[in-house]
Structure 1
Amino acid sequence: MKKVSFAEFGGPDVLHLIDAEEPHAGPGQVRIAVRAAGVNPVDWRIREGQVLGAHPVELPAGVGLDAAGVVDEVGEGVEGVAVGDRVFGEGASTYAEFAVLSAWARMPEGLTFEEAAGYPSVVETALRIIDQVGVRPGQTLLVSGASGGVGSAVLQIARERGISVIGTAGAANQDYLRSLGAVATTYGEGWVERVRQLGGVDAALDLAGSGVIRELVELTGDPQKVVSIADLGAPDLGVRFSGVAGSVPDALAEAARLIAAGKLHIPVEKSYTLAEAAAAHVDSHAGHARGRRVIVP
């Protein structure tokens, strides 16, 4: 089978499309014929060797955590899923023609494989950090870098929970943020004052890692009310860096519920082939997405 792999840590050029042996489902796992794989910032952080504590890597290694596809092997002890089922979930080395998933859920009706592949990690992350930052219904959450996959999920989950959101993004994504229920403003010079003019902020999330931790602490008045998933230096300022996943099966079940209820939709901004994985990482690193990027084998 074809698979994206890297044999050393480094830039996008370390990624190579190789011929590899097919993986097989072990106990508690399923194997899927991959129809689409989600591209996440953690993928290139792993490739660069940034997050070895949370994601140990043995080289050479595959790439990718999220995927959607058709089950073609069911491991020992697995119940409730059968060969031929359409599922989305998390596993390992998902930038490939076949991948093993350790957590999955059935795809909601009407969802394409490309769309489904964009949900697992971002919804788990969104649910986790909303809970960790301690924001409650009736309060206001500031989301810095709100137009990407995690931001899109945070805005919609917050709206469903009765939490008001102020989101920052580039000028081209202001209407997109508003369509997801947020009060939108641009980042860049003067952004702190623009946020203040929109009202008080009870908690804040840093999704972009753009060097705004001090300002988020200033706006909330408490470093304990700020969580970052993108700035590895956040703990130096007393802010929690959240990089370890919670219950992925629970997050997938909640994602499926919200999608089926019409309360969560994350668009696919761009699709890439396996051979274009390096380009996908370059684009992901650059940010400014509106929704998700996926790889289609």
Structure 2
Amino acid sequence: MQLMFFALFLLFYIVVMVGNLLILLTVFSDPRLHKPMYFFLSNLSFVDIAYSSATAPKMIADFISEKKTISYWGCVTQMFTFHFFGCAEIFVLTVMAFDRYAAICHPLRYTTIMSANACIVLASLSWLGALGHSFVQTLLTFQLPFCNNRVIDHYFCDVHPVLKLACADTTLVNMLVIANSGLISLGCFLILLASYTVILFSLRKRSSESRRKALSTCGSHFTVVTFFFVPCIFIYLRPSTTFPLDKAVSVFYTTITPMLNPLIYTLRNEDVKNAMKRIWSLKVSLKEKQKA
């Protein structure tokens, strides 16, 4: 069974890396994609690569290891990077929703609202906010004393499984974790729902073609948002209790969702598909010239 899971999750991880790297290459290579929407999409692809890499390689290696261990500082690093890139994904998805709101509800002012400087500021705030969140989360967890029990009932170092090993009262830390992780997830999700509600109402007066294009773009984004936010809210917006379902849910949003993101954005986005075709055609024509 472990060898089967090793092969399966190795395949998933390769798809995550290849799919997201392909989106990064496409966005950077095609000048037609140098727009706010694709700037944030490239940020999302980079986050997915790093976020999945925080947990997947160790999990894959453990499938073929007799002793599934991690050092103390390895655990600290894994928790910090996992929450840093996970929170960055939350903020980037929220900013992407704001970008769609500005593009659909204020088309005449869109270039002013989402200027190059505004995009850089929003992306920077997303990364800085994620850094602050991760630092606080990791500090709260590892300032507690840990005693003899050293078995983490999880496949990576996350807050709730590690808190179960502490030999001190974790009530306050649990409440702070809910306030830090759970409320960030829930708050951003509610902001996203509100923005899409406003977008849907604004589309009623548009032409059918305009509605179709807007709904296609927003549909892709909302699918990604649902796949990521719902598991996060389930895991973090509750006290430090663990359920058998937690590991399966965690696998979904740490490995499956980063794998699905590039597929969702490429299969439902005509601009990205056309850009990939242009890059592929250019590559083929260059090879033919070299042979000639």
TM-score by length of 2: 0.26
- Higher RCO (C-alpha 8 Å, min separation 6): 2
Q: Name the structure where strand makes up a greater proportion of residues.
A: 1
The structure having more radius of gyration, on CA atoms, is 2
- TM-score, normalised to structure 1, is 0.26
